[in-house]
Chain A
Amino acid sequence: MMRKSLSLAERFISRSFLQRIPSLRRRFELAKPYPHLHARNFLDERVARELAKEVKGLRFERKETDLFSFYQSDDFSALKSGELREFYEFLRSEEGFAIFEALTGAKLQGQLRVAATLFKPTDYLLCHDDNVESRKLAFIIYLTKGMLARDGGRFVVYNSKNLRPTDAAKKYSPTWNSLLVFKVTRKSFHEVEENVGKKSRYAIGGWLN
C-alpha cells in the first residue's frame, strides 16, 4: 500500500493546529487592542523537540542597546543543513506563507526574516511597535519548557492612545511549542518582560511581508 506523502505543512505543523485555523483566524481578527493570537501546539511535537535541540546548538550574538538585552542567532537563510534549515525552507515556501495568510487574512509578498532568540536571566526587550521597513506580520515560536508566569519572559501586549502605548492589556507566557503572531501596525506596541527566573528562554521569531 502506498503511503500518501505529507505536505510540507503536515510535516511541520501539528494536525490539531491545522484543523483549528478557521477558528484561530477569527480569534486573531477580533483580538484587541490589535490583531494578534497566541496558540498552543503549533508544531508537530517531534519537530518542536528537534528544532529546540538545534536552536540550542546555534551561535548567538549579544544584542544590547537602551531598548533591549538579549541574544540572537544569524538569520536562518545562512543555515546550511539540519531540521532548522528545512523548517526555514518550509516557512519561505508558498505553503508556509499560505498558512500565515489563512491564519491572519494578511496578503503577503513572500519576504521572510527569521532567527532564533535567547533571553537569559535579566534579559528583556522594552516597549516598541516593530513598525519598520514593510513588515506585515511578526511571529514567535516558543521552544522552552517549564517557564511560569513568575519567571517573567512573557510577551506583553500594550493598549495605546494617540499612537502612544499606555498600559499592559494582556500578557502571554512563552509556553512550550506555542505560536504568537501579530499584525504590525503603528499601534502594535509590545514588550518582552525581563527574564527573572533561572531558565534560558529560547524561541524562533521573525517577520513576514
Chain B
Amino acid sequence: MSEFFSNYGFLRLDNFLEKQNYESVLRVARKLRWQKLKQPDLFSYSLGKVNKDFVQEFEFEELANFIARFVKFKEMNLKLKLYSHRDYTLVQKKNLKAEFFIYFPILAKPRRAWEDRFGGYKCYVDSEGKSLIFPVKKNSFALLNGRHFSGFTKYVNHLATKSSLFVVEGEVL
C-alpha cells in the first residue's frame, strides 16, 4: 500500500472500518447537530459538531496512526460534512500534505443504494488535468496526496431526493 501511494499519490480502501464501528459511527452521526454553511462560489454543505459520542466511536488515534504510515504530518483536522440535494464543493487550491475521506451514505429508503447519477462523489484533479473519481460506496476510505491533487464534491442533484451523504473528511498538514 505504501508503495502504491508513493507511486500514484492516492490510496482507496473498501470496508475500511469494522462493520460494528461503521454502524456505531453512522448511528451517532444521525444524532449530530448540523449547521448549514454556504459560500455560493465555493461550497454548500452542513457541518456537524464533533461531540464526545463521536470521538468515542470513531477511534481518531488509530486513524492518525494508519495515515502516518503514508504521510508524515504535524496536524490532522477532521470535519463531519453532510451533503444533501443542492450541496457541493468546488475545486480550491489548498496547501496540504494530504486529505482523506470516508463515505457514510444515509439513505431515505434502506434498500436503495447511493447511485453515481445522484452526484455527491469526490473527484480529484491533478496538475495535468487528469481526474480521479471515487464513487460513493459505504465505508470506503481514500487518501490523496495534497501536493498532486485538488478535489471537489460533485453537486448533489434532485435524484438523491431525501437521501444524504455523511462524509468524514480530513486534512493533514
Please list the residues of chain A having a beta carbon within 8 angstroms of any beta carbon in chain B: 66-67, 69, 122, 124, 126-129, 152, 158, 164-167, 189, 191, 194, 196
Q: Is the CB of A66 within 8 A of B123?
A: yes
What band does the interface of chain B fall in when counting residues whose beta carbon is under 8 Å from A?
A: 10 to 19
Which chain B residues lie closer than 8 Å to A166 at the CB level?
A: 40
Cα distance, A167 to B119, chains bound together (Å): 23
In the complex, the answer to whether A124 meets B155 with C-beta atoms within 8 Å is yes
A165 contacts across to B, CB distance below 8 A = 39-41
Q: How far is the CA of A150 from the CA of B148 in the complex (A)?
A: 41
Nearest CB in chain A to that of B154: its residue? A66
Apart from the given pairs A69-B155, A122-B117, A164-B39, 19 other A-B contacts in the complex at a CB distance below 8 Å: A66-B90, A66-B152, A66-B154, A122-B157, A122-B158, A124-B155, A124-B157, A126-B40, A126-B41, A164-B41, A165-B39, A165-B40, A166-B40, A189-B40, A191-B40, A194-B155, A194-B158, A196-B157, A196-B158
Question: In the complex, A164→B86 CA distance in Å?
Answer: 19
Chain B neighbourhood of A124, CB < 8 A: 155, 157
- Inter-chain contacts of B86 with A (CB < 8 A): 194
25 example contacts (A-B, Cβ-Cβ < 8 A) are as follows A66-B88, A66-B91, A66-B123, A66-B152, A67-B90, A122-B157, A122-B159, A124-B155, A124-B157, A126-B90, A126-B155, A128-B41, A129-B41, A158-B40, A164-B41, A165-B39, A165-B40, A167-B40, A189-B41, A191-B40, A194-B86, A194-B155, A194-B157, A194-B158, A196-B157
Instruction: List, in ascending order, chain B residues with CB within 8 A of A191's CB.
Output: 40
Nearest residue (CB) in B for A197 is B158
The answer on a CB contact under 8 Å between A127 and B41 is yes
Instruction: Give chain B nearest CB distance to A193 CB in angstroms.
Output: 9
The CA-CA distance from A191 to B155 in the complex, in Å, is: 13
B62-96 near A? 1/0 per residue, CB < 8 Å: 00000000000000000000000010111100000
Closest Cβ neighbor of A159 among chain B residues: B40
- Contact bitstring B149-161, A, C-beta under 8 A = 1, else 0: 0001011011100
| B residues near A128, Cβ cutoff 8 Å | 41
B91 to chain A, nearest CB (A): 5
Chain B residues numbered 29-54 whose CB sits less than 8 Å from any CB in chain A:
39-41
Q: In the complex, which residues of chain B have a beta carbon less than 8 angstroms from the beta carbon of A194? A: 86, 155, 157-158
**Residue of B with least CB distance to A124:** B155
Please, how many angstroms separate the alpha-carbon atoms of A17 and B119 in the complex? 41
Q: A175 to chain B: closest CB distance in Å? A: 22
For chain B residues 137-155, which have a beta carbon within 8 Å of chain A? 152, 154-155
A residues less than 8 Å from B154 (CB atoms): 66
The residue in chain A whose Cβ has the minimal distance to the Cβ of B88 is: A126
Residue in A closest to B39 when the chains form the complex, CB atoms: A164
Please determine whether B40 and A127 come into contact, CB atoms closer than 8 angstroms: yes
A66 CA / B121 CA spacing, docked (Å):
11
A residues within 8 A CB of B41?
Answer: 126-129, 164-165, 189
CA gap between A152 and B39 in the complex, in Å: 20
Residues of B within 8 Å of A167, CB to CB, are 40
Least Cβ distance of B85 to chain A in Å?
Answer: 9
When chains A and B are docked, how far (Å) is the Cα of A48 from the Cα of B173? Answer: 56
Bound state CA distance, A127 and B119, in angstroms? 17
Could you tell me the distance in whole angstroms from the C-beta of A77 to the nearest C-beta in chain B? 26
Shortest Cβ distance from B30 into chain A, in angstroms?
A: 26
Q: In the complex, which residues of chain A have a beta carbon less than 8 angstroms from the beta carbon of B91? A: 66
